[in-house]
Structure 1
Amino acid sequence: MSVKDLVVQYINNEKLVHAVDHVSFSCKENESVGIAGESGCGKSTFGLAILRSLQKNAMVSGQIIFNDMPILDMTDSEFSEKIRWKQISMIFQGAMNSLDPVFTIKKQFEEILKKHNFNGDHQKAISEIISSVGLSDSILAKYPHEISGGMKQRVIIAMALILKPKMVIADEPTTALDVLVQAQIMVLLKKLKKDGLSIVIISHDLGILSEIVEKIGIMYAGQIVEFGNLADVYNNPQHPYTIALLDSIPKIDESVQKTPLKGNPPSLIDPPSGCRFYDRCPHAMEKCKKDPPKIETSSGFVMCWLYS
């Protein structure tokens, strides 16, 4: 998949919210890419834009090419028939909000299969996918409130995989889970990756991303400000925001007290011109008030005047 200059704006009370601003990146077959950043930076909107599941007040432009198909140019019916859930699916944030409380787990699986005109054996398909995420068939007769948070998350992952897509977008797949269940979910995602699945993981947790992705994009105020191979970005971060994110991670052997990043992210309703990190950046210069250039790095790019 290749994303080029993706822009997503919401119309809110006659004002434009610039949620995603000219985002570009690529993900190869059998590759995993992480999108990291603080809350409200546009990560989830970015994932929903790929699946074309945004609210009606959203305006989308740019290009998303998946297997040589420009998916933003497709009609809704064509995208639903060819791409959604069959080739690209999504693990939505918050399993408890993604399951319908008045239907059994089995009923909700059957709804997916019927909606996408699955012609095979429903019972066999459901049993196989439930088994693949480490659950037994006994869970199918239960309602969502009768199972634990970790089980709910596995059910959501199974729902995303039941039609055997080539790519899954995982939006905060371990949020609100305890560390033991987080570890179980990460082991499961690694197994799926070994089986040939491409994964785009959206998260604010850099530790979680470090376990599974090959490439990572750092998102700030709707823009990807740095992108590259995981090792390059983690070991030699270029953008001041990336450096601040990595410095915020506590280390067991570190006695120096952490210094929090001062200030707040800019408003996405009226974002400032130039570098959006300007007001919080310790290296801010006068020229940073102009839009930063995209500087090539060894494995990707960084948007910063420090390297021009």
Structure 2
Amino acid sequence: MADALLDIDRLDVTYQIHDAAGRTVRRLKALANISLALSRGEAIGVVGESGSGKSTLARAIVGLVSPSSGHIRIDGRDLPRRRGAAARHGIQMIFQDHTSTLNPFQTVGRILDEVLALWRPQAERDERRAQALGLLDKVGLGADALERYPHAFSGGQRQRISIARALATTPRLLICDEPTSALDVSIQAQILDLFAALKAEGYALLFISHNLAVVNRIAERIIVMQGGRIVEQGATSATIAAPVHPYTRQLIASAPRLSDRGALLRSVAALPDHPKKTGAT
């Protein structure tokens, strides 16, 4: 796709399995012939069971896993297979486990300032503080959060802090790896509305989730993965309403309480709306 922000072309990832002596005893193909394109302001949902390759795809895009073949391009520029933090500029990953990704011994202000100082070394401390306040405001948290530690916040608030930290690097692409699965339904809805607001600002989202209702709410298109391959893709609502591949039908049928596709769509509509700002979630 000519105007794509992210363009993945025939991507393969192969893991080498070693014995106790460090010798390669077998190779495991985790991704095979993956191609997709993602534009600014668009969200693609990636679904599949554990081991389908979803997280490997995310880690390959962000540079934590080296592809064995294929291309990953940002704005038409090929990303090197092995790359450091500088080459990952413009791409950030938001993880499911926000607890382990936030340093419990640092205040939120310090957590954000470390990132801002790294990516904007020319900025003075007062300027970085103002930027941190702006990030907190964007994710629906107040200035009082700066001096507090992560343990003082709820799960939903900690995920907001993780998102603010990711946004501190001014990325264009957010890789979201199960970012709402550890949250209850009402808080999920608030975080999803936050992602929708970011998408409206032009951020591109690759949204990985096992929850089809969540994907249907946030993503225009869906990719279904099985065994490291894409087995079906298309418009999210159409794919859920009329899946073609047997594996997609199996995923929908096995979703807890959502075996009826009408129930799946109704569950999305039933998610509560997100207040613009709250200090209690």
Kindly state the Cα deviation for residue 131 of structure 1 after the two structures are TM-superposed. 0.7
Residue 253 of structure 1 deviates from its aligned partner by 7.9
| SS of residue paired to 2:174 | strand
How many angstroms apart in 2 are the aligned matches of 1:214 and 1:119? Answer: 38
1:106-136: CA deviation from partner (whole Å, max 9, x where unpaired): 2111221222244332111110011111111
Structure-2 residue corresponding to 1:21:
32
- How far apart are residue 12 of structure 1 and its match? 2.4
8 Å Cα contact 2:11-2:69 kept in structure 1: yes
Task: Indicate which of 63, 73, 93 corresponds to 1:52.
Answer: 63
Greater relative contact order: 1 or 2 (C-alpha under 8 angstroms, separation 6 or more)? 2
**Secondary structure, in 3 states, of the residue corresponding to 1:72?**
coil
Q: 1:40 aligns with which of 51, 60, 69?
A: 51
One-letter code aligned to 1:69: R
SS at match of 1:122: helix
Matched, 1:193 2:204: no
Cα distance, 1:26–1:123 mapped onto 2, change above 3 Å: same
1:96 to 94, 99, 124: 99
Q: CA deviation at 1:176?
A: 1.2
CA distance in 2, matches of 1:92, 1:60: 24
- Residue deviations 1:230-264 (CA, integer Å, cap 9, x gap): 1331122111000111122324989xxxxxxxxxx
Q: Is the 8 A contact 1:36 1:216 kept in 2?
A: yes
User: Does the 8 A contact of 1:94 with 1:175 survive in 2?
Assistant: no
* Alignment partners' CA distance in 2, 1:181 and 1:11: 39
Mapped contact 1:149–1:177 kept (Cα < 8 A): yes
Cα distance change, pair 228–253 in 1 and its aligned pair in 2 (3 A): closer
1:4 aligns with 2:15: no
Equivalent residue letter for 2:101: S
**1:194 CA displacement:** 1.2
Is contact 2:60-2:67 (8 Å) kept? Answer: no
Structure 2 distance, partners of 1:29, 1:220, is 26
Aligned pair count reads: 246
Deviation at 1:201, TM superposition (A): 0.1
Which of structure 1's runs of 4+ aligned residues deviate more than 6 A?
Answer: none
Query: Residues 166-185 of structure 1 correspond to what in structure 2 (within 5 A)?
Result: 166-185=172-191
Q: RMSD value over aligned CA atoms?
A: 1.9
Q: What SS does structure 2 have at the residue aligned with 1:109?
A: helix
Unmatched 5+ stretches in structure 1: 255-308
Give 1:59 shift.
4.9
Secondary structure in 2 matching 1:211: helix
Contact kept? 1:10, 1:59, Cα under 8 Å:
no
- Name the counterpart of 1:87: 90
- Contact 1:6–1:24 (CA<8 Å) still a contact in 2? yes
**Secondary structure of the corresponding residue to residue 100 of structure 1:** coil
What is the rounded CA distance, in whole Å, between the counterparts of 1:6 and 1:177 in structure 2?
A: 32
Residues 146-225 of structure 1 correspond to what in structure 2 (within 5 A)? Answer: 146-225=152-231
Give 1:76 deviation, angstroms: 2.6
Change in Cα spacing, 1:59 to 1:24, as seen in structure 2 (3 Å) is closer
TM-score by length of 2: 0.82
Amino acid at match of 1:71: L
Instruction: From the CA coordinates, give the structure whose radius of gyration is larger.
Output: 1
Whether the aligned pair in 1 keeps the contact of 2:253 and 2:260 (CA below 8 Å) is no
Give unpaired runs (5+ residues) of structure 2: 1-5, 19-23, 262-281
Give, in whole Å, the separation in 2 of the partners of 1:118 and 1:93. 29
| 1:141 alignment counterpart | 147
Label 1:252 to 1:90 Cα distance change in 2 as closer, same or farther (>3 A): closer
SS in structure 1 opposite 2:225? strand
Q: Which residue of 1 aligns with 2:271?
A: none
Aligned to 1:76: 83
SS at match of 2:182: coil
The structural deviation recorded for 1:31 is 1.1
Q: Report how far residue 227 of structure 1 moved.
A: 1.1
